[in-house]
Amino acid sequence: MKRLFALILCISAIALSSCVGDGAEPYYVYGSAMDTNVSICLYGGDKELGNACLELLYGMESELSVTVTGSKLYALNSGQTVKDTGHFFTLCGLASELRTLTGGAYNPCIYPLVKLWGFTADKCSVPNDEDIATGIELAKNSQISFTDEGIKIEGGGQADFGGIAKGYASDVLRDYLKSNGVEAAVVSLGGNIVTVGKKPDGSDWKIGINSPKGGGSLLGTLSVGECAVVTSGSYFRNFTEDGKLYHHIIDPETGMPADNGLVSVTVVADDAALADGLSTAFFVMGMEKALSIAQSLDVQTVFVTENQIFVSGGLKEKFTPDGTVEGEYEIIYN
Ligand code: AMP
Ligand code: MG
C-alpha cells in the first residue's frame, strides 16, 4: 500500500514535469531501486538509455545498501576496512562533510538507532529507553574514517546512507544523461527530483510538492530550471503505536523521531546529494537553525507544518500554491 502510494506521488511529480504539445515526445522509464519507486522522463532518450540508467541505479544500490549482504556498506558495518575509490568512497566523504556542516543533525552513523526503530526491516516498534540511550552513544561516538588501508568505522557504530544515497544517485544519473547528450530530463527517486536543462520548449519544469496529508494532492508547484528538489517528510515512512505517530527521521541527540512541528522540508539546490542530506538534517534541527545554514549555502527551502507553509525568498516567484491549500495552510514567505 505504502509502495502504491509512493508510486502515485512519484508519477504525479513527473506528470507535472512533462510537456504536452511542444513537439517533443518524452520517453518514460519506471523501476524500483533503493527502496523507492523510480521514474525517469527523457527527452531525446530511448529505451536503451532508460534501461542503462536503471542498471546504473541497481549497481549503486548493490554497493550502498545497508541491508544487501554483499554491499560495501554491509562490509563496513561488519567491521571490515573497505578499499574503494568509486561511489562508496565519494558518498562516505560527502556524508562525513554533511555531518560537520549540520552540527551532527545529519549523522551517517545513525544506523544503530534506525535499526532499533525497525525502519530498515519494516518491523517497527517503539524501543525501550535503555536501548535508545545505547544507540545515541554509538551514533555520537562513531565516525567514518579514511586510512591508508581503506575506509572503516571507528567507535563501534554502523552507517546508514538512507538520508543521502538517493540524492547522490540522482546526481550520478543526471551526469550520465548529460554525458549521453540528453538536454532535457527529469529523474525522480521517491522524494528526490533532479532535472536536466529546461523543457524542450525552453520553459521551466513544474515540480509538484506533495501534500503531507496524502491522497496524491499537492501543496503547490515549483517552476525551476536545472536543479534538485528534495523533500524529507514524516509522511514517507512511519507507524502508529498507542495512537502516536512515529516516523523515520531520527534526532541523533534524543534517539527519537524528530519532533519540532515540521511535517516536511523541501530543499532546492544545484546538487541532489547536498539537498538530500540537508533536507534530512533540516527536518531534525527545525526551521530556525536550518534557515541560517540554508542562507549561508544559498539553497532554497519550503518548510511545512500542520497548517503553515514557509517559502524562502528565492522561491517567491517560483512557488504556486495549489488551489486546495487555501484555508488549510497559511503561506509565509521568509
Ligand atoms: P530522508 O528521507 O532523505 O530524509 O532520509 C531518511 C532516512 O535517513 C531514514 O530512513 C534513515 O535511513 C536515515 N536517517 C534517519 N535519521 C537520520 C539522521 N539524523 N541523519 C542521517 N540519516 C538519517
Ligand atoms: Mg535526505
Express each pLDDT in 57-106 by its tens digit.
999 999 999 999 999 999 999 999 999 999 999 999 999 999 999 999 99
Cell of 141: 561516538
Give kind and range of the element (H or E) at residue 328.
none
Q: Give the chain's length.
A: 334
Per-residue confidence at 18, pLDDT binned at 50, 70, 90? very low
Atom of ligand 1 nearest to the CA of 160: 12
Among 249, 260, 265, 285, the mutation site with the greatest number of ligand 1 atoms within 8 A of its Cβ is: 249
Nearest CA to ligand 1 atom 15: 249
Q: Are the C-beta atoms of 157 and 113 separated by less than 8 Å?
A: no
* Distance from the alpha carbon of residue 31 to the mean position of ligand 1, in angstroms: 22
Atom of ligand 1 nearest to the CA of 251: 19
Cell of 180: 549521453
- pLDDT for 44: 87
* Distance from the alpha carbon of residue 276 to the mean position of ligand 2, in angstroms: 4
Atom of ligand 1 nearest to the CA of 236: 2
Is residue 13's pLDDT more than 50? no
Say if residue 233 is exposed, middle or buried (CB neighbours under 10 Å; 0-12, 13-18, 19+): buried
Per-residue confidence at 191, pLDDT binned at 50, 70, 90? confident
Nearest CA to ligand 1 atom 5: 163
* Distance from the alpha carbon of residue 95 to the mean position of ligand 2, in angstroms: 11
Give kind and range of the element (H or E) at residue 259.
none
The whole-angstrom separation of Cα 159 and Cα 144 is 8
- The partner residues of 321 in beta bridges, in order of sequence, read 220
Place of cell 551532527: 104
Atom of ligand 1 nearest to the CA of 191: 2
Smallest-distance ligand from the CA of 191: 1
The whole-angstrom separation of Cα 159 and Cα 66 is 8
* Distance from the alpha carbon of residue 126 to the mean position of ligand 2, in angstroms: 22
Atom of ligand 1 nearest to the CA of 250: 16
Q: What is the Cα 53 distance to its own chain's centre?
A: 18
- In the chain, % of residues over pLDDT 90: 86
Q: How large is the average pLDDT for residues 190-219?
A: 93
* Distance from the alpha carbon of residue 122 to the mean position of ligand 1, in angstroms: 15
* Distance from the alpha carbon of residue 119 to the mean position of ligand 2, in angstroms: 15
What residues line ligand 1, using a CB cutoff of 6 Å? 106-108, 110, 114, 119, 160, 162-163, 232, 236-237, 248-250, 252, 276, 279-280, 284
* Three-state secondary structure call for residue 6: helix
Q: Are the C-beta atoms of 237 and 229 separated by less than 8 Å?
A: no
CA distances from 329 to 13, 230, 273, 286 (A): 21, 21, 29, 19
The whole-angstrom separation of Cα 271 and Cα 293 is 16
Side-chain half-sphere of 43: how many Cα atoms within 13 Å?
A: 22
* Distance from the alpha carbon of residue 26 to the mean position of ligand 1, in angstroms: 32
* Distance from the alpha carbon of residue 249 to the mean position of ligand 1, in angstroms: 5
Q: Are the C-beta atoms of 139 and 113 separated by less than 8 Å?
A: yes
Smallest-distance ligand from the CA of 107: 1
> Has this prediction a pTM greater than 0.75?
yes
Chain segment 239-273, per-residue pLDDT in tens: 999 999 999 999 999 999 999 999 999 999 999 99
What residue type is assigned to position 206 of the chain?
K
Contacts of 248 (CB under 8 A, 6+ apart): 114, 117, 119, 162, 234, 236, 237, 238, 257
The whole-angstrom separation of Cα 233 and Cα 303 is 10
The whole-angstrom separation of Cα 281 and Cα 250 is 9
Atom of ligand 1 nearest to the CA of 105: 19
Q: Are the C-beta atoms of 256 and 250 separated by less than 8 Å?
A: yes
Q: What is the Cα 102 distance to its own chain's centre?
A: 16
Is residue 6's pLDDT more than 60? no
CA distances from 247 to 121, 122, 293 (A): 14, 12, 24
Is residue 7's pLDDT more than 70? no
Chain segment 262-320, per-residue pLDDT in tens: 999 999 999 999 999 999 999 999 999 999 999 999 999 999 999 999 999 999 999 99
Nearest CA to ligand 1 atom 6: 163
Pairing type for strands 36-43 and 184-189 reads antiparallel
Using alpha carbons, select from 291, 330, 12, 34 the residue that is nearest to residue 170.
Answer: 34
* Distance from the alpha carbon of residue 299 to the mean position of ligand 2, in angstroms: 15
Is residue 16's pLDDT more than 60? no
